[in-house]
Chain A
């Protein structure tokens, strides 16, 4: 069974700082890995998807890296803004059955 761990569980940073969110997973047999954003009481917003053959993916201020063999992914958010405050979820997609496994998330607060 895939186990996903996200570190740190929570962090607060002043506006403008760069964010580094870490995700590790136990089973490297994955199709892809997605990073999501979840605001309190809301659903999921897909941020980035990295295919298993890719090393990184970028969208605006967001950059996600993937080291499949070691079971790690990192989400970088440059020049953080108060609007980036949310919980960020990492979800590897299991090879064969397309199941997503979720960690508990990185809860981010960006202080104006």
Chain B
């Protein structure tokens, strides 16, 4: 299977700071990447779809100004949680979609704890 690197795996920050999470596709070009969020004991919920070279498409209820997504290259997408608050504490996970297959490959996830 394809290799997707997500960094950092765990981050603790103070309320009000911004946190950037990177998602890299290591062995194929990913025209599309997805960002998910998972609260404890809950399902993974899609936050946004990121397409290389264009603006991300956000799901209903997800604030685009709070969760900034940049997909500047075919192998890298970043999610920035701006002015993080304790309620943003969650598990964030990305996935990539190769142009040739309808299969998503997932990163290992990032656990964000906002104090």
**Interface, chain A (partner B; CB < 8 A):** 4, 31-32, 34, 36, 41-44, 46, 49, 89, 93, 97-105
Residues of chain B with a CB closer than 8 A to A42's CB: 108-109
Report the bound CA distance from A98 to B49 in whole Å: 10
CA distance A15 to B93 in the complex (A): 31
What DSSP secondary structure best describes chain B's contact surface?
strand
Taking the nearest CB of chain A, how far is it from the CB of B77, in angstroms?
A: 15
In the complex, the answer to whether B1 meets A98 with C-beta atoms within 8 Å is no
Which residues of B lie under 8 Å from residue A102 when comparing CB positions?
A: 36, 43-45
- Inter-chain contact count A-B, CB under 8 Å? 53
**Contact mask for chain B residues 97-108; partner A; CB cutoff 8 A; 1 contact, 0 none:** 100001111111
Cβ A46 vs Cβ B106 within 8 A? yes
Q: Report B29-69 CB contacts with A as 1/0, cut-off 8 Å.
A: 00010101000011111100100000000000000000000
**Given A46-B1, A100-B46, A93 contacting B102 (CB threshold 8 A):** yes
Please judge, given known A-B contacts A44-B93, A46-B1, A99-B49, whether A93 and B44 are in contact too, CB under 8 Å: no
Chain A residues, Cβ within 8 Å of B105: 46
Q: Closest chain B residue to A95 by CB distance?
A: B102
Chain B residue total in the interface (Cβ 8 A): 25
Q: A43-B108, A44-B106, A49-B103 are in contact. Are A99 and B46 (CB under 8 A)?
A: yes
The B1-49 residues at the A interface (CB cut-off 8 A) are 1, 6, 32, 34, 36, 41-46, 49
- Minimum CB distance partner of B2 in chain A: A46
Q: Which 3 A/B pairs are nearest by Cβ-Cβ distance?
A: A43-B108, A43-B109, A31-B102
Complex-state Cα separation, A24 to B41, whole angstroms: 19
Q: What are some 13 contacts across the A-B interface (CB < 8 A)?
A: A4-B43, A34-B103, A43-B106, A43-B109, A46-B1, A46-B105, A89-B43, A97-B49, A98-B32, A100-B104, A101-B46, A104-B42, A104-B43
